[in-house]
């Protein structure tokens, strides 16, 4: 298909982009891609299945007729759609509701409360440097991050009798029992030993330091 440049005296032909036409209109794909991005920004990222469900539901509701079987794109449509719209598959990090609702104002207010607490409770017992050294010394400012690993993460797909509706996996421990790994580093770059927190009330013989990789600190709490 050839289109002619407007305003050119010689009317030289300009070729369209090569490749098969998309099964959805250009504006349709743009709306879908923007919806996917906005959902991810809002904390509700879309899975492949949810994408296909939404496209099918929207096309059916609008009574549109497409080349998709039952107006539902095939799985093979998704990688090409992602490539055209600069989207990628990512592993979403779980964020609890309390953290997701924190605003910059909340952080500033928290810093103010911490400073007031230091002035009232901590500073009176400091020797000479007082508040200034406490808040400005990078070697005294630490950040700790936690990763939680389930003891029994379960299995993926399992074999069962054909037609079975409910297939259960019986676990010896609680489904939410896990081990916490803590990484702590100061603003000056001082890295504390990694800490492993096991879900036990008392230390077990196999938790002895000589049984662990070097440089790891082991602790126990009731819930891990």
In order along its 224 residues, the chain shows pLDDT tens digits of 333 334 444 444 444 455 555 678 888 889 898 888 888 887 788 888 989 999 999 889 888 888 888 989 999 998 988 888 888 877 776 666 677 678 889 989 988 898 888 888 877 777 665 666 777 788 888 999 988 887 665 555 554 445 655 555 555 555 567 888 999 999 999 999 999 988 888 887 887 777 788 888 888 887 65
pTM above 0.95, yes or no: no
Strands of 6-160, DSSP E? 13-15, 142-150
pLDDT at 163: 61
The answer to whether residue 219 is domain-embedded is yes
Residue span of the structural domain in which 193 resides: 138-152+175-223
Residues 78 and 132 reside in one and the same domain:
no
Q: What is the DSSP string of 101-116?
A: T--HHHHHHHHHHHHH
**The two three-digit tokens of residue 69, written as one number:** 């079987």
The answer to whether residue 7 is domain-embedded is no
The answer to whether residue 97 is domain-embedded is no
Please tell me the total count of domains within the chain: 3
H/E element holding 38?
helix 26-41
Task: Give Cβ neighbours of residue 202 (< 8 Å, ≥ 6 apart).
Answer: 220
């Amino acid at each position: 298909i050839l289109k002619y440049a407007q305003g050119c005296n010689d009317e030289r032909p300009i070729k369209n982009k090569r490749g098969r036409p998309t099964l959805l209109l250009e504006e349709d794909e743009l709306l879908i891609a923007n919806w996917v991005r906005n959902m991810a920004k809002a904390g509700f990222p879309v899975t492949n299945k949810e994408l296909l469900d939404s496209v099918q539901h929207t096309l059916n509701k609008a009574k549109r007729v497409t080349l998709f079987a039952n107006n539902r794109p095939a799985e093979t449509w998704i990688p090409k759609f992602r490539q055209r719209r600069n989207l990628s598959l990512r592993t979403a990090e779980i964020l609890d509701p309390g953290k997701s609702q924190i605003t910059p104002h909340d952080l500033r207010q928290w810093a103010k409360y911490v400073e007031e607490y230091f002035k009232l409770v901590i500073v009176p017992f400091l020797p000479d440097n007082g508040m200034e050294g406490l808040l400005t010394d990078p070697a005294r400012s630490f950040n700790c991050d936690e990763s939680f690993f389930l003891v029994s993460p379960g299995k993926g797909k399992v074999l069962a009798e054909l037609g079975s509706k409910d297939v259960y996996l019986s676990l010896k421990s609680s489904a939410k029992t896990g081990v916490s790994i803590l990484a702590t580093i100061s603003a000056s770059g001082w890295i504390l030993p990694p800490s492993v927190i096991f879900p036990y009330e008392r230390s077990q013989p196999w938790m002895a330091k000589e049984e662990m990789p070097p440089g790891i600190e082991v602790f126990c709490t009731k819930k891990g």
